[in-house]
Structure 1
Amino acid sequence: MSDHSVPGNPGSSGFTGKVALVTGAGQGIGEAVVRALFRLGATVAATDVSAPAVAELAAELGPSAAGPAADGEADHGTRAGTVRAYGLDVTDRMAVDRTVALVERELGPVDILVNVAGILRAAPVAELTDEDWTATFGVNAQGVFFVSRAVVPGMAERGSGSVVTVASNAAGIPRAGMAAYAASKAAAVMFTKCLGLEYARSGVRCNVVAPGSTHTPMQWGLWTDPDAPARVLDGDLASYRTGIPLGRIADPADIADAVVFLASEQARHITMQDLYVDGGATLR
C-alpha cells in the first residue's frame, strides 16, 4: 500500500534533533541558512574560513536565543536548536576530513549538509590569472567535492540524508566577466546531481539552489557606482544581461527558505533538482 501521508510545514518536518553542517556560514546566504535551521530546531555546525565570524554567530545564537519567535518570524511550535562554530577552509582536504570527524564526534552524525562556501573573482577571460581560476574552482567546486565526499558515505550507511549545494543562476546562463565563477558553479551543480544519482538508492537526496542577485557582500563587491543596483533590476543591454522580472534583489533569507524546503521532509521525493531563486532573471 502506498504511503499517502502528507508532511506538514517545515517547522514540523523533522529538523529538531537533526545535525546540519553548513559551509560558508560566516556571512550572507550561509549565515541565513544557519539562522533558519537554528530557528527550526536543528543542531548546526556553522563552518567558515573565518573562524571569528562563525564564533560570533554561534555566540549570538546561544542559549538565550532559544526562546519564542521574534517579531516577523513564523512560530512553528518548535524550540530553537543550537549552533557550534568550526573554522574550516573547504579547499584543505585534510582539514575537511578532520572537521567532519570532529563535528560528528561532538554533535552526532550529519543529517543535512549545505554547501554554501564560495568566492567570486570577476574579470574578463583575458584578464583572469591562473590564481583566480585555481582559487575559484578550489572553493566553489573542489570544496563541494571534499565536504560532500567526507559526509555523504556516512549518510548512506545510515540510510538517509540531504545535501543542498548553493550554486548560482550564473551556472545556467553566460555572464560577461564571470567565466571562472560561472564555470565553477556549473561544475558544482553537475557534481551534486551525479552525487544524487549515485546515492539515491541509499536514501540520500542531493539538490541545488541557484540564487540570482542577492544582498550579500559578494553582490555588493560588484557594485562600483550608485547606479549599479538599478542596472541589476532593469538589466544591462551592453553586457547582454536581463533584469529581474520580480523587481527586487533577493534577501539571503529568500535563499535560505529554499534550502530549508529542499532539506525538509516536504521535499522527500525530490532529488537531483536545480531550484532557481532569482526573481525570474534567467527567464527559466
Structure 2
Amino acid sequence: MSRSGTALVAGASRGLGLLIARDLARRGLDVAICARDAVELEQAEARLAGEGATVRSYVCDVTDRTAVTDLVARVEGETGPLDVAIHVAGIIQVGPVDAMTADRFDEAIDIMLRGPINLALAVLPGMRERGFGRIGTVTSIGGVVSVPHLLPYSSAKFGAVGFSQGLSAELAGTGVTSTTIVPGLMRTGSHLHAQFAGDAGSEFAWFGPGASLPLVAMDAEKAARRMVKGVLAGDPMVTLTPMAHIGRRVAGLAPATTTRLMGLVNRALPTGSHGDVREGMHARTELRPGPDGSSTP
C-alpha cells in the first residue's frame, strides 16, 4: 500500500528505526529521521536517499522535551504537517540489579518512557486539530514480562506500554490513533550496541545469542513492515514473534507463576556485579574459545 504524507521516526540512525523509516518511504511517505549521533544520522540519510527516499535528518535527543517540540515544529515547517510519528529510540542495559546504578535507570526511563511521551505531546495538538494522525511506540515483550538482568529496560518499557495504551483509549473517536508495538527478540544487531554491566562477558554470552539466532529472533525487515502496517492502519496493538504472543498471554493469565519462572531463570544467570560497563561489541571480546570451538566467558 502506498500513500502520501510525512512521517517522523525518532531513533532512526540505525537498526530497527532505520528499517521502519525505509518501509515508510517505500510506501510513499516523506520521511524525517532523528537521533543523537550526527555521524550515524548523516550516514542513514545518505543510505535512504540513495534508495530513492525523500528524507531529511535532524539531530535531536528525545529526552529533551523542548528539543523534541522544536523538532516537530521544524519538520512541519519544512515538510508539511506530520501524519505519522513513531518512537523507536532505546537503550539496552544488561546485568544484575546490583550492577545497575540509579543513573542507569534514569537513562533508560528518560529515553524509552519520557521519549515517547515527549514525542506524542509534541505532535498531538496538530494531529488533533487536523483530525488525523498515527502515533506508534515501539515497546517490548520486556514491557509485559519483566526479565531478570534487564531491570532498567523493563521498567522503562512497562511505562511505555501503559502510556501508549492509555493514550489509545483517550484518542478514541478523534481520528488520531496510538499503536503499542510489542516485539519479541529481533535480529537488528542491538546486542552489539547494548551495555553490559557486572560480568560483561558472561552477560553477553547469554544475551547475545538470543538476540541474533534465526530460530529465536525475528527478521528485522519483516518486523518493520508489520509495525508500519499496524501503525498506518491505526491498530491499538501490534504484537510480533510467537514468544511475545506467548509471553503476553501467560503473564496475563498467570502473573504469579510467570514471576516465579523468571526467578528460576535468574538463578541460571551470571552473578558478578562489579566491573566496567562494556558495549556489546567489546563485551564479546571477553569470550574465549571453548574446547569445541564455541565461545565461553
Relative to the length of structure 2, the TM-score reads 0.74
From 222, 238, 245, the equivalent of 1:254 is 222
Structure 2 residue 96 is matched with structure 1 residue 128: no
What is residue 29 of structure 2 aligned with on the other side?
A: 42
Q: CA deviation at 1:229?
A: 7.2
Q: Residues of 1 paired with 2:220 and 2:150: CA distance?
A: 21
Q: Residues of 2 paired with 1:142 and 1:230: CA distance?
A: 27
Q: CA deviation at 1:216?
A: 2.5
Q: Residues of 2 paired with 1:37 and 1:132: CA distance?
A: 32
Unaligned runs of 5+ residues in structure 1 are: 1-10, 67-80, 234-243
Paired letter, 1:250: M
What is residue 33 of structure 1 aligned with on the other side?
A: 20
From 107, 112, 128, the equivalent of 1:156 is 128
Number of residue pairs the alignment of both structures matches: 240
Structure 2 residue 70 is matched with structure 1 residue 98: yes
Q: Residues of 2 paired with 1:224 and 1:218: CA distance?
A: 16
Q: Residues of 2 paired with 1:230 and 1:150: CA distance?
A: 35
Paired letter, 2:65: R
More helix by share: 2
Q: Residues of 1 paired with 2:40 and 2:9: CA distance?
A: 13
Q: What is the CA deviation profile of residues 217-242 of structure 1, one whole-angstrom value per residue up to 9, with x for unaligned ones? A: 42234694796479638xxxxxxxxx
Paired letter, 1:251: D
Q: Residues of 2 paired with 1:227 and 1:124: CA distance?
A: 14
Q: CA deviation at 1:18?
A: 1.1
What is residue 238 of structure 1 aligned with on the other side?
A: none
Contact 2:35/2:41 (CA < 8 Å) preserved in 1? yes
Q: Residues of 2 paired with 1:213 and 1:44: CA distance?
A: 26
1:185-204 correspondence runs (5 A)? 185-204=157-176
1:77-96 correspondence runs (5 A)? 81-96=53-68
Contact 2:12/2:33 (CA < 8 Å) preserved in 1? yes
Structure 2 residue 41 is matched with structure 1 residue 22: no
Q: Residues of 2 paired with 1:173 and 1:282: CA distance?
A: 11
What is residue 295 of structure 2 aligned with on the other side?
A: none
What is residue 290 of structure 2 aligned with on the other side?
A: none
Q: What is the CA deviation profile of residues 259-283 of structure 1, one whole-angstrom value per residue up to 9, with x for unaligned ones? A: 211122xx25x33x2x221332551
SS in 1 for 2:13: coil
Paired letter, 1:98: D
Q: Residues of 1 paired with 2:230 and 2:112: CA distance?
A: 20
Q: Residues of 1 paired with 2:151 and 2:48: CA distance?
A: 37
Contact 1:54/1:85 (CA < 8 Å) preserved in 2? yes
Q: CA deviation at 1:155?
A: 0.5
Contact 2:182/2:244 (CA < 8 Å) preserved in 1? no
Q: Residues of 1 paired with 2:223 and 2:62: CA distance?
A: 21
Q: Residues of 1 paired with 2:28 and 2:187: CA distance?
A: 26
Unaligned runs of 5+ residues in structure 2 are: 250-297
Q: Residues of 2 paired with 1:150 and 1:182: CA distance?
A: 25
Structure 2 residue 51 is matched with structure 1 residue 65: yes
What is residue 55 of structure 1 aligned with on the other side?
A: 42
Contact 1:250/1:279 (CA < 8 Å) preserved in 2? no
Paired letter, 2:96: P
Q: CA deviation at 1:174?
A: 2.2
Q: What is the CA deviation profile of residues 168-222 of structure 1, one whole-angstrom value per residue up to 9, with x for unaligned ones? A: 1111112011111111101011101111222222211111111211223422346
What is residue 115 of structure 1 aligned with on the other side?
A: 87
Q: Residues of 2 paired with 1:227 and 1:195: CA distance?
A: 38
Q: Residues of 2 paired with 1:232 and 1:208: CA distance?
A: 23
Paired letter, 1:65: E
What is residue 75 of structure 1 aligned with on the other side?
A: none
Structure 2 residue 210 is matched with structure 1 residue 232: yes
Q: Residues of 1 paired with 2:37 and 2:217: CA distance?
A: 26
Q: Residues of 2 paired with 1:110 and 1:179: CA distance?
A: 34
SS in 2 for 1:200: coil
Q: Residues of 1 paired with 2:76 and 2:190: CA distance?
A: 30
Contact 2:183/2:244 (CA < 8 Å) preserved in 1? no
Could you tell me the percent identity over the aligned residues? Answer: 31
Q: Residues of 2 paired with 1:230 and 1:96: CA distance?
A: 32
Q: CA deviation at 1:152?
A: 1.4
From 77, 98, 112, the equivalent of 1:140 is 112
Cα distance change, pair 129–194 in 1 and its aligned pair in 2 (3 A): same
Structure 2 residue 147 is matched with structure 1 residue 179: no
Q: Residues of 2 paired with 1:104 and 1:125: CA distance?
A: 42
